[in-house]
Structure 1
Amino acid sequence: MKKTTKYALGIGTLIVASLVFVAADHIDAPATMGTTADIADYFAFEPTEGSDNTAFIVDLQSNVLPDLAYGTFDEDVLTEINIDTDGDLIENLVIQAIARDGRMYFFGPVAPSSTGLTSQVAIESPMGDVEISGSTAIVETMANGVSLFAGPRQDPFFFDFFRFNEVVSPSMDDNSGFDNPGIDTFDGANTMSIAVEVPNSLLGETTATNVLGLPVYKTWVTTNRKQ
């Protein structure tokens, strides 16, 4: 696609040279390792009890060590939060995030132009933008109640990686199990995180019930690299 689109958003200009993106997988896809196309964790939850909002957090590029914590998001990677509103496990709404020149631009919630493995940036449905944080967290809240964040965060994953390797090793004499307490191998490591809090009125009806009996959205996240 040769079309170049400029879209003024806030005080910034988003330039999308190619709008077609192809989906990536998790760390088991070698091409994503060490980049913000690598999805580490995804969370969707009610930010406070009884809230009428839903918070979505996407952690990318796991094991970013402290001296590398304030790196950058890949500008050719589109992060897409997919939301199923009719229960068929096909996205009916998407929330998109893409970085440009030190800011993260958000679009949606909007019906996608295509579903599955390819996506287009929904430049006609801007949500807002926020400066990518460094050591100090920066959050922007829009007039419609949407809140936005992008930047490094402490990796929430607790895992005793070295003890795990010892336990599963065929040559390990002591297979007595994990240590209690274990050692968090990822303590001090970071992820590059994207967070957006959205009023449920922008998302439509919930389509599932979780193990606690609470109504929730069926949702998943993909990263898509520009082709």
Structure 2
Amino acid sequence: MKKTRLITGIGVLVAAGAFLISADHIDAPSSMGTTADIADFYAFEPTEGSDLTTFVVDLQSNVLPDLAYGTFDEDILTEINIDLDGDLVEDKVIQAIPRNGRMYYFYGDPGQTGLSSSILENNPLGDVEISSSSAVIETTSDGVRIFAGPRQDPFFFDFFQFNAVIGGMAPEGFKTPDEAEDTFDGANTLSIVVEMPNAMLGTPTGTNALGLTVYKAWVTTNRKQ
């Protein structure tokens, strides 16, 4: 088994934006601004009442549209951790690691929990060509859909008006949705997407603010020792 060392904490969704680059959130100092930097994490049903769950991890938030796209780092293992019994310890993990222009996915019980991870080489989920100018999506025999490649940053935030409001320079307050400007429009991230049948994931036990049953999930990035 290949061992990897955790270098960044959980991606945090409630935070400020990165100045003039793109949306980003609070990361551990050792990962901030590196190829292990987590920008966003999303988990949702693709359609209401679906028996599928889609997981999206966005990395490297400073991939600007007028520059060459960033590349996935082959020394970085991205891991989606899923807690099924409410103890906030991962019971299942979805892993993604790039090799020679393809993203390889693994899924199963974690080899170990906590600050270190081991690649589940005996539990492959599938692999897909890393997209460039056009999106490449693979569907496995288990009904899992996978994607990896650059996508436009989905984070909408009027960064300058926000700073003006909190700095006391905008007595009128925040702009209306029609007037607000998306500071990060056109900026890009590198996205890892996995859509899986819930039957493969197990029974969710978490509850969100709306009272809906959800999977308790978080993302870590790990660097090879």
**Residues in 1 aligned to 2:73 and 2:88: alpha-carbon distance in whole angstroms:** 28
**Residues in 2 aligned to 1:28 and 1:203: alpha-carbon distance in whole angstroms:** 27
**Residues in 1 aligned to 2:198 and 2:99: alpha-carbon distance in whole angstroms:** 28
Q: Deviations over 1:161-214 (max 9, x none)?
A: 122222333xx5444322332211100001110000011111111112233333
2:165–2:174 CA contact under 8 A, matched in 1 = yes
Which residue matches 1:29? Answer: 28
Which residue matches 1:176? Answer: 172
CA gap 1:173/1:156 in 2 versus in 1, 3 angstroms: closer
- The SS at the match of 1:153 is strand
Structure ranking higher in strand proportion: 1
- The SS at the match of 1:67 is coil
Percentage of identical aligned residues: 65
Over aligned residues, Cα RMSD in angstroms? 1.8
Moved more, 75-84 or 177-186: 177-186
TM-score (ref. length: structure 1): 0.85
Gaps of 5+ in 2: 12-25
**Residues in 2 aligned to 1:220 and 1:193: alpha-carbon distance in whole angstroms:** 15
Q: How far is 1:160 from its partner?
A: 1.2
CA gap 1:174/1:52 in 2 versus in 1, 3 angstroms: closer
Of residues 215, 222, 225 in structure 2, which corresponds to 1:224?
A: 222
Which residue matches 1:50? Answer: 49
**Residues in 1 aligned to 2:211 and 2:137: alpha-carbon distance in whole angstroms:** 31
Which residue matches 1:8? Answer: none
Of residues 121, 140, 144 in structure 1, which corresponds to 2:138?
A: 140
Amino acid at match of 1:76: D
Q: Deviations over 1:91-119 (max 9, x none)?
A: 000000001111100000x1111111111
Which residue matches 1:130? Answer: 128
1:63–1:155 CA contact under 8 A, matched in 2 = no
Of residues 203, 209, 212 in structure 2, which corresponds to 1:211?
A: 209
User: Between Structure 1 and Structure 2, how many residues are aligned?
Assistant: 208
Which residue matches 2:20? Answer: none
Which residue matches 2:22? Answer: none
Q: How far is 1:36 from its partner?
A: 3.2
Which residue matches 1:154? Answer: 152
CA gap 1:132/1:113 in 2 versus in 1, 3 angstroms: same
- The SS at the match of 1:66 is coil
Q: Deviations over 1:71-93 (max 9, x none)?
A: 21111111000001111111000
CA gap 1:131/1:50 in 2 versus in 1, 3 angstroms: same
Which aligned runs of 4 or more in structure 1 are off by greater than 6 angstroms? none
Amino acid at match of 2:173: G
Which residue matches 1:104? Answer: 103
In terms of Rg, which structure is larger?
Answer: 1
**Residues in 2 aligned to 1:51 and 1:164: alpha-carbon distance in whole angstroms:** 36
**Residues in 2 aligned to 1:145 and 1:38: alpha-carbon distance in whole angstroms:** 29
Which residue matches 1:10? Answer: none
2:7–2:30 CA contact under 8 A, matched in 1 = no
TM-score (ref. length: structure 2): 0.86
**Residues in 2 aligned to 1:216 and 1:175: alpha-carbon distance in whole angstroms:** 39
Amino acid at match of 2:175: D
2:102–2:128 CA contact under 8 A, matched in 1 = yes
